[in-house]
A and B are shown apart, each in its own frame.
Chain A
Amino acid sequence: MYQTTYHRASSVDEAASLFGKSSEAKFLAGGQTLLPVMKQRLAGPSDVIDLGKIKDMIGVEASGDTLTIKAATPHYDVATSDAAKKAIPALAYLASLIGDPAVRYRGTIGGSLANNDPAADYPAATLALGATIKTNKRSIAADDYFQGLFSTALEDGEIITAVSFPIPAKAGYAKFPHPASRFALTGVFVAKTKSGDVRVAVTGASQSGVMRVAALEAALKASWAASAVDSVSIPASGLLSDIHGSSDYRANLIKVMAQRAVAAAG
């Protein structure tokens, strides 16, 4: 790891102010993505600003039709949160599949969304549920937030503070893990909103990061059943292809995982 200066922020404002004073700072939440990258010297921030101990940024609460997860809440706390399990069990289940137990104690939703790894789990739920990403400056709709591999609508120095998920009528997640990294080789999150809309988001599969799949949404809107996916054709073009999954295999996984996600959603 390159030399760096570590700061622990006690508030969002302090974190933003520290960022402004640094030449090339990075925010650190759980560090489960940033630190491995820094260890490999693929990133060398002058300053690392730790958001993990900011009390206002930790917690899960449901109120009315919305489940709010504050950005520095570790995956484990989401997976085991009674509020999350009651409001959106598929989301709690998704959190229980991220990384491994030690990673889930440290990794956070804010960190995951800010990084926007194309094989991360949270982007699928965020996009499929039509969540709103709240930052220290504004609110961003999920449809506007994800902008391709490791790319988001966040501006330099902008801090995610919370993510608000509209509580759906039904939702399900199915993940096929990458055999080595255990990220999603393909993960599909399906959601049926209380107004009857269907949104389907896929992670791990696309060359441009998390994506919605209109054909699956249309089929499931017409009939909310695993069998409704049978006739949908998923093209392999634009999908990732690597040693663990060719693009046509991933196209198959999108269908199969969508079927299993719908079955899990009930």
Chain B
Amino acid sequence: MGVEGIGARVVRKEDKRFITGKGRYVDDIKLLGMTHAHFIRSPHAHAKVKGIDSSAALKMPGVVAVLTGQQLVDDKVGNLICGWAITSKDGSPMKMGAWPAMAPETVRFVGQAVAVVIADSKNLARDAAEAVVVDYEELPAVADVHAAIKAGAPQLHPEAPGNQVYDWVIGDEGATDAAFAKAANVVKLDVTNNRLAPNAMEPRAAIADYDAAEEHFTLYTTSQNPHVARLVLSAFYNIAPEHKLRVIAPDVGGGFGSKIFIYPEEMVALWASKKVGRPVKWTGDRTEAFLTDAHGRDHVTHAEMAFDANNKIIGLKVKTYANFGAYMSLFSSSVPTYLYATLLSGQYNIPAIHAEVIGVYTNTTPVDAYRGAGRPEASYLIERLMETAARQLKVDPAQLRRTNFITQFPHQTPVIMAYDTGDFNASLDAAMKAIDYAGFAARKAQAKSEGKLRGIGVSCYIEACGIAPSKAVGSLGAGVGLWESAEVRVNPVGTIEVLTGSHSHGQGHETVFAQLISDRLGIPISQVSIVHGDTDKVQFGMGTYGSRSAAVGLTAILKAVEKVESKAKKIAAHQLEASEADIVIENGEFKVTGTDKAIALPMVALAAYTAHNLPDGMEPGLKESAFYDPSNFTFPAGTYICELEVDPGTGKTSFVNFVAADDFGRLINPMIVEGQVHGGLVQGIGQALLEHAIYDANGQPVTASFMDYAMPRADDVPSFNLSHTTTLCPGNPLGIKGCGEAGAIGASAAVINAITDAIGKNNLEMPATPDRVWRTIHAA
């Protein structure tokens, strides 16, 4: 590796603008003549919209327009779509209720928009919104999955009788039943995976600007995938054809999945901009984020694991109810199915698995992918089951895992996934050593003498990342391919621009992607610019989620660089009067191997653009593009072990140590990888201890601000002890697996396993609030 090449801990190029206050987020942008939108949102979880009277509001100062859901329908703006078709076990397609961007007739969750006020300022829009009178007829509402599927429950959509979206199955039910029939031991567990609010620190925002002369729209938006936004806005929402719509996602303040989706506010802003003939800006506040950003998780699961007499797992049965909220968000259908149940084998040899997932509508905010998306739910379930089994079978939890690890690769699980490589013993060993697992018993005894309950918890996670092979996901119902594109432009002076369809909203692409170029071409990263987030600049791309930017996006860049290198070598060979096969690239120079003849990259570039002396028939220029479609998912895996203490008086948990041993394959920038793990771990710990998006029985949200929804703060969490074990991913040339979600996937089980170890009681739901832990300690 060079000083700035692959494997180097390079500080980030993008940081200077962020630490000096010069980042450019959507809300920082002002356009001439810009108006401001304020949405009028339903206070009811379920109601008929009987009428909207905006006459008083329209007379207020600075009010430009009040637009309603019926006008959207009249203008034939499309309903929101769900892009992944899931088929129920009876062969029927999933049941989709219509989701208009503003509700003309029925609202189905608190916060759903019914109208929008456009005014000269944000304050004036909000003032006027209070003068709009919406006549609602309240309907009975339901928020809980079990309540929603009961006979006689309030019905959300006529298209979905019984509020059921689908009843989907995977695996071999007969083989699984047979395994259970011969089991020596069966371990049973009921688990709730708590609903979370993603809470990227930057609230969502959009600015839409319609140019009537060109019939062209520009949308600045907080998106993880601007090209997908443009595609969906064009193909399904009838906003504008793609060549008449430019989508720009500038600096974006965190996403965690929540900014994948194309939201009603973006659609309405575009449509309204054309209607009022001025740019329209909408910036959400935190409460709107709680009410309308897609939530995550929210599963209720019963699972049973069968063991033989040697403590080998022989079967797994899972039944999960997934709460989708009031509507099916863009990729929601895939989360509790192909992103969840396909990971139920965990790190273990499980010969027979059967899982059933029932998707349910409720009068709550729609649920979709949130950091990990399905995989945290699977990992949490399996790792809670393993811990429960160890306690029931009276074996060491680490040893029980070791007994069941997959050790031969590739490994075909019974639930679609074929793990390509891994070394699960290595990461378990590394984590156990880091935390001094062997010395825990003595530490626990010492803590007991000081009145504290100490516990240790292991979590061995695996995930499927590098999303995803297009053909495979297509066969499973995905509406899009999940390749990535790249273009590498060598300028005549030898500086380089890399255009990518990946989008950085904190991940550090401007640095990491430049490191690959530096590694290959031997030039400093300061000579490389990464261009992303603008559909006018980058031709197409699928964006950033599912830990895919390095494994898929960077591989696409590599493919384009290889083409650049190939052409540059031809030019260099021609200039140096050598054979192309003898040209090697070293330190920014093209050299004739074994000689002192060399030509620097800028001279090769200049030659390509002057075209005075190119090989016969060669086109001028030095610019190449590539599309890369992965052949398989990647499978990052690792072990997290957490040691903590519980205060028996208050039930409060304090961390003593938290170690992580991850296998992400090749690391491009270990500093950035560690940062991704830290952030993921805290989101996992947040789920385990603090976070819960709660609704009352009538669908009223109880946690709609940071006053009620407990976000992890610096003093809630520990510093971490990280290490890496490495098996290179054979599926891509760089050997990369992806690191963006691991922490969020693996951490929560480690925490709950440790608390339940500390208090000596196995049943404890997340979040393990002090009240809940105290109650569990003192329960009979």
- A residues bordering B, Cβ < 8 Å? 1-3, 41, 176, 179-181, 243-246, 249, 252-253, 256, 259
Q: B771–A180 contact, CB under 8 A?
A: no
Most buried by B among A3, A243, A252: A243
Q: Please give, as numbers and ranges, the residues of chain A lying within 8 Å of B711 by CB-CB distance.
A: 180
B312 at the interface (CB under 8 A from A): no
Q: Please give, as numbers and ranges, the residues of chain B lying within 8 Å of A249 by CB-CB distance.
A: 651, 770-771, 774-775
Q: Please give, as numbers and ranges, the residues of chain A lying within 8 Å of B775 by CB-CB distance.
A: 246, 249
B692 at the interface (CB under 8 A from A): yes
Q: Please give, as numbers and ranges, the residues of chain B lying within 8 Å of A1 by CB-CB distance.
A: 123
Q: Please give, as numbers and ranges, the residues of chain B lying within 8 Å of A179 by CB-CB distance.
A: 690, 710, 769-770
Q: A252–B708 contact, CB under 8 A?
A: no
With A179-B769, A180-B709 given, is the CB distance from A243 to B702 under 8 Å? yes
A256, B703: Cα distance in complex, Å? 27
Contacts of B693-715 to chain A: CB distance below 8 A: 694, 702-703, 706-711
Q: A180–B707 contact, CB under 8 A?
A: yes
| CB closest residue in chain A, given B778 | A252
Q: A253–B703 contact, CB under 8 A?
A: no
Q: A252–B774 contact, CB under 8 A?
A: yes
Contact of A243 among B649, B708, B774 (CB under 8 A): B708
Contacts of B623-668 to chain A: CB distance below 8 A: 649-652
Q: Please give, as numbers and ranges, the residues of chain B lying within 8 Å of A256 by CB-CB distance.
A: 649-650
Contact of B707 among A3, A181, A246 (CB under 8 A): A181
Q: How many whole Å from A53's CB to the nearest CB in chain B? A: 26
Contact of A180 among B123, B130, B706, B774 (CB under 8 A): B706
Q: How many whole Å from A126's CB to the nearest CB in chain B? A: 23
Cβ contacts A to B, 27 pairs, < 8 Å: A1-B123, A2-B127, A3-B127, A41-B126, A41-B130, A176-B650, A176-B652, A179-B710, A179-B769, A179-B770, A180-B706, A180-B707, A180-B708, A181-B706, A181-B708, A243-B694, A243-B703, A243-B708, A244-B771, A245-B771, A246-B771, A246-B775, A249-B651, A249-B770, A249-B771, A249-B774, A252-B650
Contacts of B121-149 to chain A: CB distance below 8 A: 123, 126-127, 130
How many CB-defined contacts (below 8 Å) exist between A and B? 47
Q: Please give, as numbers and ranges, the residues of chain B lying within 8 Å of A180 by CB-CB distance.
A: 690, 703, 706-711
Q: A253–B710 contact, CB under 8 A?
A: no
- B residues bordering A, Cβ < 8 Å? 123, 126-127, 130, 649-652, 690, 692, 694, 702-703, 706-711, 769-771, 774-775
Chain A contact residues: over half helix, strand or loop, or mixed? loop
Q: Please give, as numbers and ranges, the residues of chain A lying within 8 Å of B709 by CB-CB distance.
A: 180
With A180-B707, A249-B771 given, is the CB distance from A243 to B650 under 8 Å? no
Q: Please give, as numbers and ranges, the residues of chain B lying within 8 Å of A244 by CB-CB distance.
A: 710, 769, 771
| CB closest residue in chain B, given A36 | B707
Q: How many whole Å from B560's CB to the nearest CB in chain A? A: 47
Q: Please give, as numbers and ranges, the residues of chain A lying within 8 Å of B649 by CB-CB distance.
A: 252, 256, 259
Q: How many whole Å from B709's CB to the nearest CB in chain A? A: 6
Given contact pairs A180-B708, A181-B707, a sample of 11 additional A-B residue pairs in the complex whose CB atoms are under 8 Å apart: A41-B126, A179-B770, A180-B709, A181-B706, A243-B694, A244-B769, A245-B771, A249-B651, A249-B770, A249-B775, A256-B649
| CB closest residue in chain A, given B130 | A41
Q: Please give, as numbers and ranges, the residues of chain B lying within 8 Å of A252 by CB-CB distance.
A: 649-650, 774
With A249-B774, A256-B649, A256-B650 given, is the CB distance from A243 to B123 under 8 Å? no
Q: How many whole Å from A174's CB to the nearest CB in chain B? A: 10
A3, B121: Cα distance in complex, Å? 13
Q: Please give, as numbers and ranges, the residues of chain A lying within 8 Å of B771 by CB-CB distance.
A: 244-246, 249
Q: Please give, as numbers and ranges, the residues of chain A lying within 8 Å of B706 by CB-CB distance.
A: 180-181
A1, B127: Cα distance in complex, Å? 9
| CB closest residue in chain A, given B652 | A176
A181, B709: Cα distance in complex, Å? 8
A176, B711: Cα distance in complex, Å? 17
A256, B652: Cα distance in complex, Å? 12
A41, B285: Cα distance in complex, Å? 14
Q: Please give, as numbers and ranges, the residues of chain B lying within 8 Å of A246 by CB-CB distance.
A: 771, 775
Q: Please give, as numbers and ranges, the residues of chain A lying within 8 Å of B123 by CB-CB distance.
A: 1
A245, B706: Cα distance in complex, Å? 16
A253, B650: Cα distance in complex, Å? 7
A3, B694: Cα distance in complex, Å? 33
Q: Please give, as numbers and ranges, the residues of chain A lying within 8 Å of B127 by CB-CB distance.
A: 2-3
> 8 closest pairs, A vs B, by CB?
A180-B710, A179-B710, A256-B649, A249-B771, A181-B707, A245-B771, A180-B708, A243-B694
Q: Please give, as numbers and ranges, the residues of chain A lying within 8 Å of B652 by CB-CB distance.
A: 176
Q: Please give, as numbers and ranges, the residues of chain A lying within 8 Å of B770 by CB-CB distance.
A: 176, 179, 245, 249
A181, B708: Cα distance in complex, Å? 6
A147, B608: Cα distance in complex, Å? 84
A256, B708: Cα distance in complex, Å? 23
Q: Please give, as numbers and ranges, the residues of chain B lying within 8 Å of A245 by CB-CB distance.
A: 770-771
Q: How many whole Å from A239's CB to the nearest CB in chain B? A: 12
| CB closest residue in chain B, given A179 | B710
Q: Please give, as numbers and ranges, the residues of chain A lying within 8 Å of B707 by CB-CB distance.
A: 180-181
Most buried by B among A179, A181, A253, A259: A179
Q: How many whole Å from A149's CB to the nearest CB in chain B? A: 16
Q: How many whole Å from B755's CB to the nearest CB in chain A? A: 15
Q: Please give, as numbers and ranges, the residues of chain B lying within 8 Å of A253 by CB-CB distance.
A: 650
A226, B707: Cα distance in complex, Å? 32
A246, B694: Cα distance in complex, Å? 15
| CB closest residue in chain A, given B126 | A41
Q: Please give, as numbers and ranges, the residues of chain B lying within 8 Å of A2 by CB-CB distance.
A: 127
A244, B770: Cα distance in complex, Å? 8
